[in-house]
């Protein structure tokens, strides 16, 4: 009965989403008693709808934990011998479950808006909840008519198992984190639609939307950072980013959300960039929908791309066209009512933010074109691929230009600034960047992009902390700390990327037990190969002894075999030191007693993910700081 209860919860949630839309229409259009009742009732409906979606997801997880093989989704994506963590995470490690997780977070977010939002005008809030219900209803229909996660089959003896590449603790955290980011952007989109419907685009709307944008941005940052490290250690290829279309599907919403975050700050605090903020809210959600379409449509082949049925892709594409086309039509119809807002000079912090947003938009366009071009070409019978060389050459220089603007922007004054004073303020960061550039040219000749990356990272790091100069640090508002930490985090990440690109040493060798190979400062000896057994796998495990100076460490990379489904995977062994990582992978025997081993020495590669964590921390500090300020203001008013 668990599956039937889950399906019933989905149907009831869909019905309530329809009712929520009806109440929103009445609440916006009617000013009589019926309108008042609709406005009063819509909050409760949104909360119950979110609770039902959460119940459906909880019941699906229960089916996976019980290994109920009479449910098709469980039988095709689980196995009774799997560890409980992978049964739990396996609930969303497939097409139907991941879409149910998507709509669950969507419903819970709508319920949170209904429960906690107290700043927004009543009619605009009702319109926002109506837009959120419209998005949810489309995905409920998708699940109920195209991707039912509770579909029954004749009971199987055991399941087919989960893709072994997904049998990793990262699956428990990475997808939910990314989805929370995607759905946070859906809330921002709903706020934008609500404000357009009631012609209420202004600072109040921006202040209501800002926490959701910040939250979505933090989750997306964490999701992308965690996903990058997950792929790095799990796939065994030693890279942290491959410009895979599925990777790009999460990067594009992040780029749009970053631009939206800066724009909504200007609107909330300075009443500027009104139309730009609304448009970015639409674009950001469009990118999250596009990402969902790419990953769930079956047009891509990837470990993340669960669906293989083009009909499902057509359904999502129809939803994408409906939501985004409708929002753009509404935007076009109401653009005349969106006032320009406060005017600012080109040389000002607002001006810097506009330039930064334009550069982010250009990078977004490059990634979008590079991602979609092979798909469009394939539709016309032309097979081609767009890989790292295109993205690095096209987006790399623009990203470096954006770093320069990031360094300058926080040192500008709001509204209007004196351009002649700017060189004096930038003297220290520019001097540090120039010194690093010269030192690298003399001591370690490297490629142009890594060279500029390291120099600009040093300059950005210095510029990032300069807004703290002359302040009482204990009284500095958390949003200022958030900006500093986030910008500093980007400098740290950039330094890690540049170091990995410039200084990584790689060695592929075939060795017998007792033989030694060298990579970077390490001497690595293969001591032997031995079989080991896990809960649902067996493996051949190498014992490698790594030496540098007086340090001796042992690493144990594995070549694992999973019986269900039959798959061989490489489990890397990574040694982390303060100045980098030694990355080892065991390959296949060559038939003459030798084993392939692949070794990388990656100086300062960990800075990439440390910087990602700092960027997310910066967003969290800003979110907490603004929440705390709002709470104090409400107490003062009361």
- Give the closest residue to 21 by CA, choosing from 154, 129, 119: 129
The residues near 478 (Cβ < 8 Å, ≥ 6 apart) are 621, 622, 624, 625, 626, 628
- Quick one: average pLDDT of 211-222? 95
Alpha helices, H only, 117-197: 122-145, 170-197
Please state the rounded mean pLDDT for residues 85-99: 87
CA distances from 206 to 127, 202, 270, 271 (A): 15, 6, 11, 9
Average pLDDT over residues 604-608: 97
Q: Whole-model pTM above 0.85?
A: yes
At residue 310, the pLDDT reads: 63
Residue whose pair of structure tokens reads 């900006």 in the numeric block? 483
**Taking Cα atoms as reference points, which of 111, 110, 108, 9 lies closest to residue 59?**
9
Could you give phi then psi for residue 413, rounded to 5 degrees? -90, 155
Task: Identify the H or E element spanning 580.
Answer: strand 580-589
Report pLDDT digits (tens) over 154-187: 866 676 766 777 777 777 788 889 889 988 899 9
Cβ 205 vs Cβ 334: under 8 Å: no
CB 581 within 8 Å of CB 520: no
Altogether, the residues listed in the chain come to a count of: 638
Residues 6+ apart with CB under 8 A from 87: 64, 65, 67, 78
CA-nearest of 151, 156, 214, 167 to 188 is 214
Query: Closest Cα to residue 510, out of 437, 578, 597?
Result: 597
How many angstroms separate the CA atoms of 508 and 238, rounded? 12
The conformation of residue 71, written as its DSSP 8-state character, comes to B
153 pLDDT band (50/70/90 cuts)?
confident
Q: Is the pLDDT of residue 606 over 90?
A: yes
Among 284, 248, 218, 241, residue whose Cα is nearest residue 612: 218
52-65 pLDDT, tens digit each:
999 999 999 999 99
Mean pLDDT within 192-207: 89
Q: Are 460 and 406 in contact (CB under 8 A)?
A: yes
CB 349 within 8 A of CB 412: yes
Helix, strand, coil share of the chain (percent; to 5): 65, 10, 25
Hey, what's the torsion of the CAs at 151, 153, 157, 159, to 10 degrees? -40
Query: How many angstroms separate the CA atoms of 384 and 375, rounded?
Result: 9
Residues 310-365: tens digit of each pLDDT: 667 778 788 888 888 888 888 888 777 777 677 788 889 989 999 999 999 999 99
When mean pLDDT is compared across 128-137, 418-427, 574-583, the lowest value belongs to 418-427
pLDDT for 298? 62
pLDDT band at 499 (very low <50, low <70, confident <90, very high): very high
- Give the span between the Cα atoms of 272 and 198, in whole angstroms: 19
In the structure, what pLDDT confidence band is assigned to residue 368 with cuts at 50, 70 and 90? very high
CB 416 within 8 A of CB 343: no
* pLDDT at 304 > cutoff 80: no
Q: Judge whether 602 and 522 are in contact, CB under 8 Å.
A: no
| pLDDT band per the 50, 70, 90 thresholds, residue 569 | confident
What pLDDT is recorded for position 511?
95
Instruction: Please answer whether residues 555 and 577 qualify as being in contact, where contact means their C-beta atoms are separated by less than 8 angstroms.
Output: no
Say if CB 81 and CB 164 are below 8 A apart: no
Here the tokens at position 281 are 């809210």
């Amino acid at each position: 009965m668990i599956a039937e209860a889950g399906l019933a919860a989905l149907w009831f949630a869909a019905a309530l989403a329809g009712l929520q839309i009806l109440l929103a229409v009445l609440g916006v259009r009617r000013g009589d008693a019926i309108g008042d009742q609709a406005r009063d009732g819509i909050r409760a409906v949104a909360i119950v709808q979110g609770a039902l979606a959460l119940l459906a997801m909880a019941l699906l997880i229960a089916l996976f934990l019980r290994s109920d093989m009479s449910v098709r989704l469980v039988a095709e994506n689980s196995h009774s011998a799997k560890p409980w963590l992978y049964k739990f995470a396996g609930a969303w490690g497939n097409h139907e479950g991941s879409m149910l997780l998507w709509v669950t977070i969507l419903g819970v977010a709508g319920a949170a808006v209904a429960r906690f939002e107290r700043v927004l005008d009543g009619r605009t809030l009702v319109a926002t909840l109506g837009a959120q219900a419209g998005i949810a209803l489309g995905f409920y229909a998708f699940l109920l008519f195209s991707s039912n996660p509770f579909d029954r089959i004749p009971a199987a003896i055991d399941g087919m198992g989960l893709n072994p590449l997904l049998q990793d603790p990262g699956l428990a955290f990475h997808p939910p984190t990314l989805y929370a980011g995607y759905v946070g952007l859906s809330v921002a989109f709903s706020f934008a639609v609500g404000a357009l419907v009631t012609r209420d685009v202004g600072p109040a709307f921006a202040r209501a939307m800002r926490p959701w944008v910040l939250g979505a941005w933090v989750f997306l940052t964490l999701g992308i950072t965690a996903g990058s490290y997950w792929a790095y250690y799990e796939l065994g290829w030693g890279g942290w980013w491959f410009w895979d279309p599925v990777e790009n599907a999460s990067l594009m919403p992040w780029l749009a959300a970053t631009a939206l975050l800066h724009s909504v700050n200007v609107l909330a605090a300075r009443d500027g960039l009104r139309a730009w903020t609304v448009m970015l809210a639409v674009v950001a959600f469009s990118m999250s929908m596009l990402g969902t379409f790419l990953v769930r449509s079956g047009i891509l082949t990837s470990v993340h791309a669960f669906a293989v049925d083009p009909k499902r892709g057509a359904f999502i594409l129809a939803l994408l066209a409906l939501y985004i086309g409708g929002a753009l039509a509404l935007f076009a119809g109401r653009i005349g009512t969106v006032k320009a807002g406060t005017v600012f000079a080109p040389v000002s912090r607002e001006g810097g933010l506009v330039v930064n947003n334009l550069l982010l938009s250009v990078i977004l366009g490059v990634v979008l074109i590079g991602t979609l071009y092979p798909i469009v070409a394939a539709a016309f019978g032309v097979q081609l691929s767009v890989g790292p060389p295109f993205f690095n050459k096209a987006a790399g220089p623009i990203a470096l230009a954006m770093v320069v603007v990031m360094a300058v922007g926080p040192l500008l004054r709001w509204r209007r600034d004196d351009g002649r004073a700017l060189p004096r303020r930038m003297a220290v960061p520019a001097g540090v960047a120039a010194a690093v550039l010269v030192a690298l040219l003399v001591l370690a000749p490297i490629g142009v992009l890594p060279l500029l990356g390291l120099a600009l990272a040093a300059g950005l790091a210095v510029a990032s902390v300069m807004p703290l100069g002359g302040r009482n640090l204990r009284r500095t508002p958390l949003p200022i700390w958030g900006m500093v930490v986030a910008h500093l985090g980007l400098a740290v990440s950039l330094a890690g990327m540049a170091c990995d690109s410039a200084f990584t040493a790689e060695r592929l060798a075939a060795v017998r037990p007792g033989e030694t190979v060298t990579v970077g400062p390490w001497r690595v000896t293969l001591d032997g190969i031995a079989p080991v057994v896990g809960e649902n796998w067996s493996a051949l495990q190498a014992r490698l002894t790594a030496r540098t100076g007086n340090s001796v460490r042992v690493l144990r990379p594995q070549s694992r075999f999973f019986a269900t489904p039959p798959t061989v995977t490489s489990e890397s062994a990574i040694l982390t030191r303060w100045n980098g990582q030694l990355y080892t992978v065991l390959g296949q025997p060559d038939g003459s007693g030798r084993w392939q081993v692949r070794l990388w020495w990656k100086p300062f590669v960990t800075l990439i993910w440390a910087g990602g964590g700092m960027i997310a921390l910066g967003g969290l500090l800003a979110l907490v700081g603004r929440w705390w300020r709002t709470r104090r203001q409400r107490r003062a008013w009361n």
